[in-house]
Structure 1
Amino acid sequence: MLTKKLTASLYHFLISLLIVGAFLAFVKFYWYPGHLLAISGVTSILLILVAIDITLGPLMTFVVYKPNKPKLKLDLSIIAALQIAAFSYGMFTIYQGHPLYVVYAVNSFTVATANEIDPNDVSNKQLLKSKLAGPQIAFAKMPKDPKESADILFGAFAGKPDIDKLPQYFEPYDKHLDDIFAKSIDLTKLLDKKDTKQELEKFFSHNGDKGDFAYLPLVGKSKDVIWAFNKKTGKPAGIINIDPYQMAVNN
């Protein structure tokens, strides 16, 4: 009987592994590509999802499985229902928090997630998208009307959404590269410190010379990093795992 219990548990494990693995790949490469997974604070949710669906489900099958048990189908159905419920909850939570836009506003990039904004409010047609879509880079442009700008500013102080969460002001970022790159971080002080110098040199060794890039703060849910952009192409070149605000703290 032990062999049959192990076989049933193994089948359950393989099915769970296939489903969860496919979802994790979708999350990693579509909803949270590249650096966004590391800074979005959803790693713990993913670990819980894996623990429940890949480990706990098959283990419960091993415990209850007996070939001639009268209520075996009911027991397995309950396990499957619990597993599906846990997976659906985790999937919905990850969906709610996935980045729709990575928005440049004032002097840094921030993440605007699916539960923070409605992409249907975007006025620029180039940035229209589904809530199921992956992230897109955008530039939040302050309105020219002084009263409208003041309303946004004072509204943010009062707890209302700031400009980086107001999609009606989003524009394609590549139209504003000069404005963005003008706020590039000066790496001089970071190169004077051993630990940050090592991170920078590691990035340069794989991507190019220091002067080839502009360096902007990227503010995440769990940590902040430096986002490097190629000055010639205007495209993201990668992240540097350094807190861009530690210079201000250490000064």
Structure 2
Amino acid sequence: MNRFKASLLHLFGSVCVVLLVFLLVRLVWYPGRFFEAASGTELMLILTLVDVVLGPLVTLIIFSPAKPSLKFDLTVVVVVQVGFLMYGLWSIYSARPVYIPFDEDRFYLVTANEIDPEDMKKAKNPAFQSFPHFGPTIVGTALPDAPDMREKIKVGGMVGMGIQVLPQYYVPYGQAAASVKAAAVRARELKGEIITSDEDIARLSDYEAKKREGGRAVRFVRLVSKKVMLYVAIDEMTGAVVEIL
């Protein structure tokens, strides 16, 4: 076997492994539009460049059938590549979306690395003492009764550290459905929002019309993320989540 065949074989194996990782990330940890909203694209690109490009490239450079230490060298390359893969996989897992809490008039996309483990320990509801592993969970929030804590949370919200990243104040979505329903608006009512593009309004209006034709009225609530603005379609009658767009 020459170096080119060895490199191609290494490339094929690397592509198969990264493809399996991509399916796990895309379908389980970052489903739907969360792949774009939570920087899944960038993280997968980095992992792909390291494991699919660099590994086979190193094999192409060092491979020589007459080299006495060839097996050892290739073993080192594979071990290092697997190490990078595990590190990249852990980085993607640690930054995955875990919760979609509702507060006041909007939802927030919260990733695992935004929540302090100490805050999770304070959660009274056992469901919020650990992260979901298969996609984010939609929840409500409830401010504490103490005025000083309420003020502290509001101040923290000004710098992105508000109630949305405090699991001790999460409540099951059913307890917040009425508030979500009250905050939901029609697509055309989003037009006054600077962060809502004309393209989004047109897309949501089409979605609203199709649902209406099917006998279901929906309204929308903004879902704030660091990358893009998403929208949660809400059943007008029940407040139940229909879809994230």
Answer yes or no: same fold by TM over 0.5.
Answer: yes
Q: Is the 8 A contact 2:185 2:219 kept in 1?
A: yes
Alignment of 1:21-36 (within 5 A): 21-36=19-34
> How far apart in 1 are the matches of 2:149 and 2:191?
41
Equivalent runs, 1:123-202 vs 2, <5 Å: 123-130=124-131, 132-157=133-158, 161-188=161-188, 195-202=199-206
Please show how residues 34-45 of structure 1 align to structure 2 within 5 Å: 34-45=32-43
Cα deviation digits, residues 172-228 of structure 1 (max 9, x gap): 112221101211134225679864454235434765559721201111121112221
Contact 1:139 1:171 in 2 (8 A): yes
How many pairs were matched up?
236
| Displacement after TM superposition at 1:120 (Å) | 4.0
- 1:214–1:231: 8 Å Cα contact kept in structure 2? yes
1:107 maps to 105
Aligned pair partner of 2:217 in 212, 216, 229: 212
State whether structure 2 residue 194 is matched by structure 1 residue 203. Answer: no
Q: Residues 9 and 61 of structure 1 are in contact (CA less than 8 Å); yes or no, is this contact kept in structure 2?
A: yes
User: Quick one: which amino acid aligns to residue 168 of structure 1?
Assistant: Q
Which segment drifts farther, 9-18 or 193-202?
193-202
Q: Which amino acid aligns with 2:125?
A: N
Shift of 1:153: 1.9
How far 1:170 sits from its partner (Å)?
0.3
- The superposition leaves residues 78-107 of structure 1 with CA deviations (integer Å, 9 ceiling, x where unpaired) of 322332232233222212211111111121
Distance in 1 (alpha carbons) for counterparts of 2:49 and 2:107: 33
The answer to whether structure 1 residue 224 and structure 2 residue 229 are counterparts is: yes
Supply the distance in 1 between the matched residues of 2:11 and 2:241 (Cα, whole angstroms). Answer: 41
Query: 2:244: which partner in 1?
Result: 238
In the alignment, is the contact (CA less than 8 A) between 1:40 and 1:221 conserved in 2?
yes
User: Tell me, what secondary structure is at the counterpart of 2:68?
Assistant: coil
Please identify, of 195-204 and 33-42, the stretch whose mean Cα deviation from structure 2 is larger: 195-204
Q: Percent identity?
A: 28
RMSD: 2.8
Structure 1: 5+ residue runs without aligned partners?
A: 240-251
Q: 1:74 to 1:96 in 2, by over 3 A?
A: same
Q: Which one-letter code corresponds to 1:230 in the other structure?
A: D
- CA distance in 2 between counterparts of 1:194 and 1:107 reads 21
Give the Cα separation in 1 of the matches to 2:38 and 2:182.
Answer: 26
Give the match for residue 245 of structure 1: none
Residue 37 of structure 1: CA displacement? 0.9
Give the Cα–Cα distance (whole angstroms) in 1 for the partners of residues 186 and 3 of structure 2. 62
Structure 2 SS opposite 1:115: helix
Change (3 A) 1:39 1:160: closer
- Which sits farther off after the overlay, 17-26 or 191-200? 191-200
Change (3 A) 1:67 1:231: farther
In 2 relative to 1, CA 134–128 (structure 1 residues): closer, same or farther, beyond 3 Å? farther
CA contact (8 A) 2:128 2:167 kept: no
